[in-house]
Amino acid sequence: MRLADLGEFGIIDRIRRLLPATSTDVVVGIGDDVAVLDTGGPHYLLATCDIQVENVHFVRHGISPRQLGRKVIAINVSDIAAMGGRPRWALVSLGLPPDLQVDFIDELYHGLEAQTQAAGIAIVGGNLSQIDGPLVIDLFLLGESDRDCLLRRDGAQVGDVVMVTGKLGASRAGLELLLRPHLQVSEETRAKVLAAHLTPQPRLAEGQLLAASKRVHAMLDVSDGILSDLGHLCEASQVGSALELAKVPISQACRDVARAAGVNPEDWALTGGEDYQLLFAVPPGDVAAVQELLSTGTGAMTTVIGHIEPASSGITLIRPDGTAEPLAGNIGWNHFRQGAKP
């Protein structure tokens, strides 16, 4: 059996089964984007890491070192935001080819520092190694969460409403312009989608507000594509879901680039990934309060896109004409699976 036969999540599950059962001080362990640890203090300790590998996650000619530094921090902060937590300390490990220009490191750290300041994080250490191959950046981020405000992905309940912040698809459209820069779109559209892809902004304040509201049953961030991440939420919560495709909020800039590329913008919004919006489940009676909370607190829009059903229903896509079909096939980003992402 090859790794490609298992895929990213199959490999994670296999690793989890190889390890001994966790102790009682591990509140959330392997399988989630963030580990939650009980140190006995007034807060839970949150821990997450994310690796960026050249030619897998980025190409050097398509992103500046400063943008790369900002993105490395932002995508980790997004995981902490999805639990309603506060990011605090970061460690950065670098695998660097010896012929890399020193200016690259200077600019990378300018980007890291800019994003850490925005999120209230201190870089406190890391590791450095020579590597004879593509550049590698591995970030380890620690944070904290109030014990009574922790949000997990496994709390969705049948009857809950599924909601998402912001709009989707702009990051995937930005990737398309990196791959096909000749596409004819306005400079405003080009700038919007490239910013969404190269320097995403995590929904940190929104996550903290939702956690403090005590109105949200389950939440995660949209990093692998909304269909894939909805699947993660449903699997963790042991529920199913119905997703109304007509209600999925698609960025106008995404629509513009998709039109120029001759593709369906819905596909990018559903499976493109790296939007770093928040996907969450709330009781139907709390929808208006949640929308008002985020609109007033941060200006963020939120959209109802579906509801939670029994696990036996699986995940169902409701077409604009009202017809329903079960979700099937490879969706979203999945390392080691061929054809998962362009």
pLDDT in tens, 37-73: 999 999 999 999 999 999 989 999 999 999 999 999 9
Asked whether residue 156 is domain-assigned, the answer is no
**Model pLDDT, residue 341:** 39
Which comes out higher in pLDDT, residue 7 or 287? 287
166 and 305 in a single domain? The answer is yes
Task: Tell me the residue length of the chain.
Answer: 342
Say if residue 338's pLDDT is above 50: no
Asked whether residue 13 is domain-assigned, the answer is no
CA distances from 39 to 21, 26, 27, 36, 123 (A): 18, 9, 10, 10, 22
List the domain range (segments joined by +) for residue 273. Answer: 161-326
129 and 191 in a single domain? The answer is no
| pTM of model > 0.85 | yes
Burial class (CB in 10 A: 0-12, 13-18, 19+), 182: exposed
Confidence band, pLDDT 50/70/90 cuts, at residue 339: very low
Asked whether residue 2 is domain-assigned, the answer is no
> The CATH number of the domain where 230 resides is what?
3.90.650.10
Confidence band, pLDDT 50/70/90 cuts, at residue 32: confident
129 and 167 in a single domain? The answer is no
Nearest to 46 by CA among 85, 10, 103, 11: 85
Residue that the structure tokens 């593709």 belong to: 263
Give the residue from 149, 177, 197 where a domain finishes.
149
126 and 173 in a single domain? The answer is no
Asked whether residue 131 is domain-assigned, the answer is yes
CA distance 342 to 338: 10
171 and 192 in a single domain? The answer is yes
Give the residue from 149, 179, 209 where a domain finishes.
149
246 and 106 in a single domain? The answer is no
